[in-house]
């Protein structure tokens, strides 16, 4: 009974600190980046890199109803994206020239938290996105359009993750959404709307809640003290 009493006190002491935020970095295992130009068509290619998510996980593992926010990223296109512009020119994004570097609130303010709905169930993540992109236009005109910018509004990205039963699980997550911006090309009388469409999957190792290490250490110490008293 004394051991039960000791463990009960330890649980009460540690409980308020459970469910703290843990930031996970996901390494891509598959990804695609689509380029859509309104009225001109669409094309796609590879996307790779990492992105981070902070999860307020409960009980030392990722579970339904846990709160999350999207964090920084390093995602870039791995293949060439090319589209014809009304037969007058061609818009091209070469590898490593469409880069997603950060998620956050409007122009970098904190993002709006989302809540995990369940195992790999898509969850809405309202977030601004910071992108660096260069579009090369050739044909009747030859020019390069570059941007380094936040979208300036909250965009609907969908985030899904496997819930975990134990802290040693490997978590799989998917992320998808669209970043759009306009480019004017006066030489051919076009204003094009570029939509960069992200779809990526990645994995990470689930880590225990920071409080669990302390709880385990305290529990072992308490059990050791009880056993010493028993032996004496």
Cα 171 from Cα 60, distance rounded (Å): 13
Find out whether 196 and 149 touch, Cβ atoms under 8 Å.
Answer: no
DSSP string, 69-110: EEEEEEEEE-S-EEEEETTTEEEEE-TT-EEEEEEESGGGSP
DSSP code, position 61: B
pLDDT 10s per residue in the chain (232 long)? 433 333 333 333 333 344 689 999 999 999 999 999 888 899 999 999 999 999 998 777 788 889 999 999 999 999 999 999 888 889 999 999 999 999 988 877 778 899 998 889 999 999 999 999 999 999 888 889 889 999 988 999 999 999 876 655 788 999 999 999 888 877 777 778 889 999 999 999 876 655 444 433 334 344 444 334 444 4
pTM of the model as a whole: 0.78
Query: What's the CATH class of domain 20-207?
Result: mainly beta
Q: Which residues contact 169 (CB under 8 A, 6 or more apart)?
A: 61, 62, 162, 205, 206
Per-residue burial over 12-41, b if 16 or more Cβ lie within 10 Å, else e, is: eebeeebbeebebebebeebbbbbbbeebe
What are the structural domain ranges in the chain?
A: 1-18+209-232, 20-207
Q: Take residue 64 and report the two structure tokens written for it.
A: 């339904």
């Amino acid at each position: 009974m004394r051991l039960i009493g000791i463990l009960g006190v330890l649980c009460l002491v540690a409980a308020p600190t459970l469910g703290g935020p843990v930031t996970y970095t996901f390494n891509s295992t598959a990804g695609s980046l689509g380029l859509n130009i309104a009225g001109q068509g669409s094309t796609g290619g590879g996307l790779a890199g990492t992105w981070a998510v902070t999860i307020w996980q409960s009980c030392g593992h990722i579970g339904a109803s846990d709160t999350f926010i999207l964090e920084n990223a390093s995602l870039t296109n791995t293949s060439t994206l090319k589209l014809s512009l009304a037969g007058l020119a061609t818009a091209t994004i070469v590898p490593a020239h469409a880069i997603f570097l950060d998620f956050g609130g409007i122009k970098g303010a904190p993002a709006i938290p989302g809540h995990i709905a369940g195992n790999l169930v898509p969850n809405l993540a309202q977030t601004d996105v910071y992108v660096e992109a260069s579009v090369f236009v050739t044909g009747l005109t030859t020019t390069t359009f570059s941007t380094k910018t936040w979208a300036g509004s909250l965009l609907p990205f969908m985030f899904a993750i496997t819930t975990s039963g134990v802290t040693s699980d490997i978590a799989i997550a998917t992320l998808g959404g669209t970043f759009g911006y306009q480019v004017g090309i006066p030489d051919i009388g076009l204003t094009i709307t570029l939509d960069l469409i992200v779809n990526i999957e990645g994995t990470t190792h689930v880590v225990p809640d920071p409080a669990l290490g302390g709880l385990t250490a305290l529990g072992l110490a308490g059990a050791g003290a009880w056993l010493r008293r028993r032996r004496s």
